[in-house]
Structure 1
């Protein structure tokens, strides 16, 4: 009897596989069944035709784990959460979301410096009025001296690709020229960067001061550099100020590791419909402050470390100033 049941089960599985192959939905045909990219990947589709333009909603999601002493544990969770949120809550289609992580098998989907720069180009390629674009990054961010003389504080912000030890970081100037300059009138780009020192990592000309409820000028001090778009709107939501670090933590779930800003952003956008940018910023600040106040450790050194990691202040910057408490955040 058991052998008969086993044979029937095997036959059903075979029938399912045949149906999947006929319908073109054979999920096991992928080299990496755990890939977060729909097959063929957005890069393959885009590369097949020079006339291909970005869809109305298009997203680039990057999560970097790194190795050894630089390793992060929550970045893949962050990317999975953001991808799911964009698909289920914001109307993005799987085929229009490009994901780069160091768990992907295909070489072009690994978050190397070269691949990230090419993917940034893919994100804004052919953008036109009505498009909504999302750039998301979860990984390390670093500050370094400004060698171009276009930073008011003399410091440039960077994101770190997986190969940053050999190829170097991706500087804010490069990110700005890659995905801010090409934005046409009527195009909106949201950059969500969950990394240390990420406050002005898009090099946008206006930074919102939450305490004083006003926009501050972040334009080049000498007017020699271009930081503005081609008429479109770029808005950056950063995990912390330029001089702060961001938390990769279990503080909110006690189970899974996540970037604090990513977790809170998705939590509040799911919970409250029609949030304004200012409302979201306030809610994230309040929750981070609550966590800092509630966490108690028997050893002082642990308390100091956690306070340094979680005492971060998410920030908004933009290519054009607007009323953050009146404008609703819509991806």
Structure 2
């Protein structure tokens, strides 16, 4: 038996591999082997599902739903990652909406979520359409597969300059699974589920942190908005804001593994706490249109108050969920009397004043 060092092709983590066997990268679950260099991706284990929790809520098809996003803008190509194509500077966004159309746990609101988030970025935050990469099943050659999402991360992070502002948005299912390396206070890794996660694997919070958080240099900021179950600390950021106590709390891993940046700033809005589920619902729609509860309230808060602060946004989303549960929202709440049990989580690579204006 001999040992060789090999680098993961996805996240470039160096690993020790014995003989001609293989190991799974602890960061992104890619299989790394010596010899033929090939291998599949580890299939996710038997864990509890959620968004949005699979089969939790009655999903109704929206009337006059968006057929395609192609007509909305001239979107960048994934091929620009490996080509010399000039990438947009200043502001850049990766938006992922996973519907899981062929699965029994399919979602109804994710495509609308992506369209609404795209419109918000263009109309309220001056993003150029050509600087927004959308991955959705309805987009030819841009399905939100594991490979394409990881390639999208590379596109988002390529050729960054001080002053750049990045956005990563994900609407889909999220899972959690036990971890044994002391990287999580609660003992669980959080994940997002690509379209093909059952065969190709999930994307762990460790990998997301390594790829889009750690490389952020001074003068570069990232905002992540993740509408999925168990998404509170999906970026593994070291600081989490306690809304009730109005203070920042420590979220550093017991292992003391560094989860910060190279001087840049990363901020994440997760749809719910790590142990909670996030809802796909028509509770906030005047018709039968489905939306992610977090995405809808996030966008509505900004549209109603363009100068809203981070703290004001947190409070608005919290109060919207409370009002829906009290029946003060709209009578279309179709949850079989189930409550929306989720509370948005704000996390960051560093403490900051949440009374400052939100600026993506």
Q: TM-score range by the shorter chain?
A: 0.7 to 0.9
Secondary structure (helix, strand or coil) at the match of 1:193 reads: strand
Kindly indicate whether residue 97 of structure 2 is the aligned counterpart of residue 63 of structure 1: yes
Please state how far the C-alpha of 1:47 moved relative to its aligned partner. Answer: 3.8
Q: Hey, what's the Cα distance between the residues in 2 that align with 1:147 and 1:254?
A: 46
Q: Is the 8 A contact 2:68 2:139 kept in 1?
A: no
Structure 1 consecutive aligned stretches of length 4 or more whose deviation exceeds 6 Å: none
- Residue in 1 that maps onto 2:70: 35
5+ long unaligned stretches in structure 1: 1-31
What CA deviation, in whole Å up to 9, does each residue of 1:100-143 have, x standing for no partner?
A: 0111111xx11111111111111011212111100000000011
Q: Which residue of 2 aligns with 1:12?
A: none
Task: Give the match for residue 349 of structure 2.
Answer: 319
Kindly indicate whether the alpha-carbon contact (under 8 Å) linking 2:69 and 2:115 is maintained by their aligned counterparts in 1.
no
Structure 2 equivalent of residue 236 of structure 1: 268
Give unpaired runs (5+ residues) of structure 2. Answer: 1-66
* 8 Å contact from structure 1 (residues 54, 123) kept in 2: no
SS of the equivalent of 1:191 reads: strand
1:21 aligns to what? none
Q: Give yes or no for contact 1:36–1:99 (8 Å, CA) kept in 2.
A: no
TM normalised by structure 2 equals 0.76
Q: 1:114 to 1:37 in 2, by over 3 A?
A: farther
Alpha-carbon distance between aligned partners in 2 of 1:323 and 1:48, rounded to the nearest angstrom? 40
Q: Distance in 1 between matches of 2:122 and 2:246?
A: 33
Matched, 1:221 2:251: no
Equivalenced residue count is 288
Distance of 2:72 and 2:170 partners within structure 1: 16
What CA deviation, in whole Å up to 9, does each residue of 1:3-60 have, x standing for no partner?
A: xxxxxxxxxxxxxxxxxxxxxxxxxxxxx9752674463434454317x344100000
Higher percent of residues as helix? 1
Change in Cα spacing, 1:33 to 1:135, as seen in structure 2 (3 Å) is: closer
Classify the secondary structure of the residue corresponding to 2:104: helix
Contact 1:53-1:127 at 8 Å conserved across structures: no
Aligned residue for 2:232, secondary structure, equals coil
CA shift digits 1:85-105 (9 cap, x unpaired): 111111001111000011111
Among residues 76, 90, 97, which one is paired with 2:111 in the alignment? 76
Indicate conservation of the 8 Å contact 1:289/1:311, yes or no.
no
Q: Secondary structure at the match of 2:268?
A: strand
Partners of 2:271 and 2:345 within 8 A in 1: yes
Kept after mapping to 2: 8 A contact 1:37/1:98 = no
TM (norm. structure 1) is 0.83
Matched residues in 1 for 2:273 and 2:197: separation? 22
- Measure the CA separation in 2 of the matches of 1:105 and 1:315: 33
Question: Of the two, which has the highest radius of gyration?
Answer: 1
CA distance 1:191–1:262, change in 2 (3 Å)? same
RMSD: 1.9
Task: Give the secondary structure class of the aligned counterpart of 1:111.
Answer: coil
